[in-house]
Structure 1
Amino acid sequence: MNSELMTYIKNNKAEIFEHWLELMKNTETERIQSIVSESVYVKVSSDFVETILANPVIDKDSFIERLDDVIQRVVRLGWPLTYLTQGVRQIGQVVFEGYMGAPSSVGKVETKLLYEFDEWLGPIYNEIVEKYSNSWEHTIMLQRVALQELSAPLIPVFDKITVMPLVGTIDTERAKQIMENLLQGVVKHRSEVVLIDITGVPVVDTMVAHHIIQAAEAVRLVGAKCLLVGIRPEIAQTIVNLGIDLNQIITKNSLKKGIEKALEITNRKIVHVESEESL
């Protein structure tokens, strides 16, 4: 980039940023600004523009580090890639129009200047797309791991009795997680009875029933009984209509009744004790 253009950018950073903010209001940043405070939006935007404008005068490693920091913040805030890509284009437009209108640029060859802009902003654009994609994929992977850890917990409620509450759709990948957690939990908690609570499962089709039957059989093989609880009327009707055979699994319509049955299986029961005042 020629020295005159670099001098123009250095001397007009504040004006460039203000003009850039105005142009960005016409893009989908209106949606972004509706979910974050004005101060957060301006701070992140200022750091982004400052990083791009500083590119010609700082070394590559420092620039990549600063750009990576801004992109990670944008990803954490859930802002779209278009904020960055459109932002780069708008920076180029603001700087180009401002510089061409400055007295020092009179007589400059516009074609040559456009070539210099392409050399400056082209690699930045590509770097942003790559880093945003990598950062987004990494974030999604971490979220997926966290969801897997929370999607099928095995909770001990009484000695030798554990409950696995299921919420949401059950697909093949989640079914594998359920199976692993069940078998590991049965051994860890020395469970004799495991209750699978499907109250929060919206749909039980053939595939879901197949996964549940497999899980119950696996639990039986490690020496425990499996109870299926939380069967709502519409779920019961679906199971009957699909011809799914759950005869080998004890079923109850509520977790309360399931726990009562589990206590019975482990030779225990709930006893109501009268208070001293009623005696």
Structure 2
Amino acid sequence: MNPNVRDQILEHRTTISETWLEEIKSFRSDDSLQNITDTMYENTNREFVDKIVQSIEVVQQESNEELVQFAERLIQLGWPLHYITRGLQKFRTITIDVLSETDDDYCQSKEFFQEIEEWIDNLVNVLVNQYSGSWENTVFLQKMALKELSAPLIPVFDKISVMPLVGTIDTERAKLIMENLLDGVIEHRSQVVLIDITGVPVVDTMVAHHIIQASEAVRLVGAKCILVGIRPEIAQTIVNLGIDLGKFPTQSSLKKGIESALEMTNREIIDIEG
């Protein structure tokens, strides 16, 4: 940054900062910031503007470690990204307005505006990258956790297991379901597997295709498959799409599916009277 611009900003730091702190109060109308206490909001704003001004000294070194650490704290506290971007844009506008009113000729030049633009754009890029990196890491961890929990095969009786499916089934998840299903059948020595689709919001041609593939794979390893949890609207969709599920048994509920599985393994539930 041009030393003259830097000196001007530091000289008018108080005016710029106080004007910015007053202007940024309007951000509180945002729904995502209304739950933050007045004290915390004010203290965060003062720290933010201090970090912005301090960054003048390190822009050329391409190191904004303190500002990055500040952004990391905001991410952990759940502050929205647009607080950062709007705050920096407002700071840029106020800085230009304040310095344009000084007697310094350079502050009236095109180069001056370019200096301010480059400085603030650099800060925006640094902080947006910090936010996006954090989000990508969070999404990745959530995705891995979901994978681990999304398709368990649960033994409920000897030789009978249930796989409850919840949420949307895409190609990647279908592969995971297939792997867990086959591994579980072998591990638990299941003869009958119930695939429960009660928690699957939509069954289209692709989802049905994945389910049919899973049932065929189960049959090839010596077990039988029952599809349970078919709600009326799902049944209607399957019929309208012309999907053939006639190759393996279906039941409307898990209870009925378990009764069928017990029959397949030559067992039944008997009520014992007191």
Which amino acid in the other structure matches residue 226 of structure 1? C
Q: Which residue of 2 aligns with 1:4?
A: 7
Matches within 5 A, 1:1-279: 1-2=3-4, 4-5=7-8, 7-8=10-11, 12=14, 16-26=16-26, 30-34=30-34, 36-38=36-38, 41-42=41-42, 44-57=44-57, 63-75=63-75, 80-99=80-99, 105-110=102-107, 111=109, 113-275=112-274
TM-score (norm 1): 0.79
Structure 1 residue 88: deviation in Å?
A: 1.3
Structure 1 residue 77: deviation in Å?
A: 5.6
| Identity across the alignment (%) | 53
Deviations 1:88-125 (A, max 9, x none): 12122333444555xxx434432254344234323222
Deviations 1:236-279 (A, max 9, x none): 2332333322222111110011112222323333232334xxxx
TM-score (norm 2): 0.80
Which amino acid in the other structure matches residue 11 of structure 2? Y
Structure 1 residue 215: deviation in Å?
A: 0.4
3-state SS in 2 of match to 1:109: helix
User: CA 1:160–1:76 in 2, change beyond 3 Å: closer, same or farther?
Assistant: farther
Structure 1 residue 230: deviation in Å?
A: 0.9
Gaps of 5+ in 1: none
Which amino acid in the other structure matches residue 220 of structure 1? R
CA distance in 2, matches of 1:44, 1:186: 55
Structure 1 residue 47: deviation in Å?
A: 4.0
User: CA 1:164–1:240 in 2, change beyond 3 Å: closer, same or farther?
Assistant: same
CA distance in 1, matches of 2:53, 2:187: 57
The answer to whether the Cα contact below 8 Å between 2:192 and 2:223 also exists between their aligned partners in 1 is yes
Structure 1 residue 74: deviation in Å?
A: 4.5
Structure 1 residue 221: deviation in Å?
A: 1.8
3-state SS in 2 of match to 1:231: coil
CA RMSD of aligned residues (A): 3.1
The answer to whether the Cα contact below 8 Å between 1:198 and 1:231 also exists between their aligned partners in 2 is yes
Residue-pair matches, total: 269
CA distance in 1, matches of 2:61, 2:267: 68
Q: Which moved more, 1:87-96 or 1:105-114?
A: 105-114
Gaps of 5+ in 2: none
Q: Which moved more, 1:261-270 or 1:224-233?
A: 261-270
Which amino acid in the other structure matches residue 86 of structure 1? R
CA distance in 2, matches of 1:72, 1:141: 18
CA distance in 1, matches of 2:40, 2:154: 40
Structure 1 residue 176: deviation in Å?
A: 1.7
